[in-house]
Chain A
């Protein structure tokens, strides 16, 4: 005996609230689905090509190209996107560079989610001094303009992918901390949490059994939306020379090297930029679609 259909109308506020909202809109269920499906599909395709494709298809190496094949134009035989100034296949560098971007974004957001999420959760649940101290520490990091902070850390650590991840984590941890704290605060006084306390459940169980699962939609969508920003920051780091060192490919340093000869060969800037742009847009749309679907505000 299913209930859901009747529930749409039996919870008095659902249909009417939407009704008063404004002009008539069609059932946009299919549109919502596309909002998530299309960017999601593009991302999946990109991920496939960056991570799996080079394992099954002999893609030319991203480094060590021969000087006989420099600056080949687009659609050249064997080099679909041409080659760069030292003969490396551009397509291959895009794919391997994409790997770097995705890995860094995923790692940074994962670290932010776990560490920042934990900090925000504990601060919100404990309140009082714990909350004040933890939040002031996070505030210190947030107060710095993100790029400056990240630059400073990357500079002191030295260029490498791992160091880029640490540096960018200094940005994502406080961000997640803020979001997690807000989410947890919103949940903390809800009757089911009070009921759990009344049932005698221990604080750790309440935090991880009740609060965390109900915070996940907010944290995950924030993670998605933030991933795009992280990618751009990573690109900026590379562009400025503090990130992934040459000759390893990354979209950012490809743009950097291409920038010097942009007037002659604009494609070396445009191609990686397009890939970066499409990826970030898809991440944003996907994250936004998830947010709408899960009703996160």
Chain B
């Protein structure tokens, strides 16, 4: 990359290395729903990037905006939602694209796997046809070629007896097998980003482990970036490289998984960790809990959204919302009084 001439004139050339555009760059994404006269601020300005091959976990509870933001990227929100901000995929702006243009991206550039596989599959269509349909939507492929690729995909997702399964209907498969089919459909055209929206929540824990292992293996094979959306911190700790925690429509903490769990900064993340029942704990021990409920998204609070519930809340927390800043290398948090760090500078 050539260093552009700076306004400061010759002699002061700074060699600006223009890094290649990240795979997915979300900047100040805002999603507002209008329902019966009120506005609901589901996502209030979040920014993050996804690099090729990365595994990112987006963790939050209901109402945190984790699902809505992913669907905003994919263009899957209903018309009552207005999306503002910027989402760039390989430099191309996605916000404001027509449905037709988004359709060409969906499946090819990025894809999504949802929570309930039985809802994602057409019960009246054979499983194989659903895969070939996905293939032939985006690419010119003959019937035979699509069939062969579909069978390969079924093999790739480790579905036993793939040739036979091709002709079966979804109800003939178990939950775990259905989710594998859904993954096969999602990966059919080689997307570069795969969103997994609570993809394993509805599955048994044994199946969940198998599916997550499969996803990670496929990632290695195909180089797809994986964005796992979940409420399960344990899942994030075990399978993700980076973890992003969302609360009330904002990102409140982001860090590589190992560092996050070694030292949590944001009290909300700590509250989440504390609230998970752990095998190591003794039975009948009361879990440390924070009371209250997430704020009403129709009215953005003035200060930090977690202030009403935070055990370490102080006066300034209520006055002004802390911004998400990179306080340490690779670690972002939005808190005036983060854990383990003391007072705000």
Contacts and interface: CB of A to CB of B under 8 A. Distances in A.
Is B a genuine binding partner of A?
yes
A19 B71 contact: yes
Contacts of A29: 35-37
B78 interface: yes
B68 A9 contact: yes
Contact of A27 (B34, B62, B198, B295): B34
Interface in A1-59: 1-3, 5-6, 8-12, 15-16, 18-21, 23-27, 29
Contacts of B38: 5
Given A5-B40, A19-B71, A10 B99 contact: no
Nearest to B74: A19
Nearest to A5: B298
A20 B81 CA distance: 13
A12 B67 contact: yes
B247 to A, nearest CB: 13
A295 to B, nearest CB: 15
Contacts of A2: 296
A25 B297 contact: no
B71 A9 contact: no
B294 interface: yes
Contact of A9 (B40, B76, B99, B115): B40
Interface string B47-85: 000000000000000110101100100001111110000
B298 A24 contact: no
A27 B68 contact: no
Nearest to A9: B63
Looking at chain A's contact residues, is the secondary structure mostly helix, strand, loop, or mixed?
helix
Nearest to A21: B78
B62 A10 contact: yes
A3 B294 CA distance: 10
Interface size, B (range): 20 to 34
Contacts of A6: 40, 63, 294-298
Interface residues of A, number: 22
B189 interface: no
Nearest to B298: A5
A114 to B, nearest CB: 35
Given A15-B33, A15-B78, A26-B79, A8 B40 contact: yes
B42 interface: yes
B156 to A, nearest CB: 25
Contacts of A18: 78
B62 A26 contact: no
A19 B296 contact: no
A29 B80 CA distance: 10
Which among A6, A10, A21, A26 has the highest number of chain B CB atoms within 10 Å?
Answer: A6
B83 to A, nearest CB: 10
Contacts, number: 73
A238 to B, nearest CB: 44
Nearest to B115: A12
Contact of B67 (A16, A24, A25, A27): A16
Contact of B296 (A3, A11, A12, A23): A3
Contact of B99 (A8, A19, A24): A24
A3 B76 CA distance: 25
Given A6-B294, A25-B78, A25-B79, A12 B99 contact: no
Contacts of A8: 33, 35, 40
A59 B121 CA distance: 63
B131 to A, nearest CB: 18
B152 to A, nearest CB: 27
B44 to A, nearest CB: 13
Contacts of B40: 5-6, 8-9
A26 B297 contact: no
B77 A19 contact: yes
Nearest to B248: A6
Nearest to B63: A10
A24 B296 contact: no
A9 B36 contact: no
A27 B71 contact: no
Contacts of A24: 77-79, 99
A29 B34 CA distance: 10
B230 to A, nearest CB: 12
Given A6-B296, A9-B68, A19-B78, A27 B63 contact: no
Contacts of B36: 27, 29
Nearest to A3: B296
A101 to B, nearest CB: 36
A223 to B, nearest CB: 27
A26 B68 contact: no
Nearest to B77: A19
Interface string B239-274: 000000000000000000000000000000000000
Interface string A220-250: 0000000000000000000000000000000
Interface string A48-82: 00000000000000000000000000000000000
20 contacts: A5-B38, A5-B296, A6-B63, A6-B294, A9-B42, A9-B62, A9-B68, A10-B62, A10-B294, A12-B62, A15-B42, A16-B197, A19-B71, A20-B76, A24-B79, A26-B80, A27-B34, A27-B35, A27-B36, A29-B35
Interface of B: 33-38, 40, 42, 62-63, 65, 67-68, 71, 76-81, 99, 114-115, 197-198, 294-298
Closest 9 CB pairs of A and B: A24-B79, A5-B298, A10-B62, A25-B79, A27-B80, A10-B63, A26-B79, A18-B78, A6-B296
Given A10-B63, A16-B67, A19-B77, 18 more contacts: A2-B296, A5-B40, A6-B294, A6-B295, A8-B33, A8-B35, A9-B42, A9-B62, A9-B68, A15-B77, A19-B78, A20-B76, A23-B99, A24-B79, A24-B99, A25-B78, A25-B80, A29-B37
